[in-house]
Chain A
Amino acid sequence: MFSFLLLPGGASAVVLPEDRTDTMIHYYDGGGVTVSGPALLVRKSASDTVSVSGRYYVDTISSASIDVVTTASPYKDKREEFGVGIDYLHGNSLMGVTVTTSKENDYLADSFGLNLSHDLFDGLTTVNMGYSQGQDQVQRTHTTFEADVNRYSYRLGVSQVLTRSLLFGVNYEGIAEEGYLKNPYRAARLLGGTIPENYPGTHDSQAISVRAIKGFSSDSRPASSSLRAEFRYFRDNWNINSDTLLLAYQRYFSDRVLGEVHYRYYTQNAASFYSDNFTTLMAYRARDKELSTFHSHSVGAKVTWNFVKQKFLFFDRMSLNFAHDYVFFDYQDFTDVRTGQPYSFGANVLQLYVSAWY
């Protein structure tokens, strides 16, 4: 599950989040899987110091993925997520609490999160920290099987104004999980035959990200374009090491139109207990392609049209946004058992949403 409050770390000093509503339709199509649905994020201040938020998100899934077509039957599912949050501003500090619940046919998840941000040095530095705890219940359809997963997340970060056009941030997140961490439907392979997967009962990970934004001005605008770079380093106790690089360029084409192009590269090595086809029986064994050695390239673009820039009814401004990302996943040691060749696929990710500020 993912929650719905941003970690502090933008250009602004600690203030209450903006009063805004985002209404989105999202669509994913790749690798035999389509996922689509609406998303709604509403935030409104209740006073000068309190802001409340609500979130609704739906994934409608139709899956005939490589896992499904080789070991099971295609399926359809729906996941609904609800969340509420409240933020309280006190002096230079912003404190927030979020509660989220997610439900699908065979998976339930509940979590809560605490966040604290504090400004230092006249708002040039923002320190933020957070803690989240969640409990999932894993089920298997048409059976009475139930198992739990407990999850704990710790976050620490700093964002910094370095110059009048340069921002820098660093964030750390440690996540600890315990319980039933495998997929109850997936099977591993042993000498070409199938055998149930078996995962360790704990999963501990650490990730560090560093990010920076450089702004550029023009004769007509103080901020006419910006270049953003992010890098994340990840490692866990399953021996997965991963690097993620993101580059994004944003530019105003007019007062009303803003464009963005971005590129993302991701790479990871396999978990210590992953194999495409085990040759000996191991205590822990997985054939989940998300635990294999692979890399992905993603290119995308987003266009924002600010079609309301002055007061309209009770809205201060409104924008229409469209984004398209193409992601190519290339697996090194996960084969398509139908062909025996390394597996790869491309996915299209589409977003259409309206944002309204009031």
Chain B
Amino acid sequence: MTSARTTIVLACATLLLGACSGVKSYEREMLSDPIMSFSRDPVSDQYLDHVYDVREGARGATTTQGGGCGCN
């Protein structure tokens, strides 16, 4: 459960940062551009995650929802 605790600590720290960041709505023009997305093209990111998922031991915590390869 160390990983879960670490995530909770990081999440709380992020929330504190969020409370302090204060970026106004009219200052978010850059943030709305597609190149500022963690996953610009879902179909492409899902495919690449699948390519790696079936060939590596690690899994999860990617930008797409995972949970196994569905293959053998």
Contacts and interface: CB of A to CB of B under 8 A. Distances in A.
Instruction: Return the 7 tightest CB-CB contacts between A and B, nearest first.
Output: A1-B70, A173-B60, A172-B7, A223-B33, A125-B18, A207-B61, A206-B3
A158 B62 contact: no
26 contacts: A1-B69, A2-B65, A11-B38, A12-B32, A24-B43, A26-B47, A39-B43, A98-B65, A107-B71, A113-B67, A124-B18, A136-B70, A153-B60, A153-B66, A158-B11, A158-B15, A161-B28, A164-B29, A170-B10, A173-B60, A223-B33, A240-B57, A266-B56, A271-B57, A290-B54, A353-B44
A10 B71 contact: no
Interface string A325-358: 1010100000000000000000001010101000
A251 to B, nearest CB: 8
Contacts of A115: 65
Interface residues of B, number: 63
Interface residues of A, number: 112
Contacts of B71: 59, 79, 102, 104, 107
Contacts of A234: 57-61
B65 to A, nearest CB: 4
Contacts of A160: 14-15, 17-18, 21
Nearest to B46: A2
A95 interface: no
Contacts of B72: 106-107, 138, 183-185
Contacts of A172: 3-4, 7, 61
B66 A2 contact: yes
Interface string B5-32: 0111011001101110111010111111
B17 A162 contact: yes
A120 to B, nearest CB: 7
Interface stretch (A86-94, A211-219, A277-285, A308-316): A211-219
Contacts of A81: 70
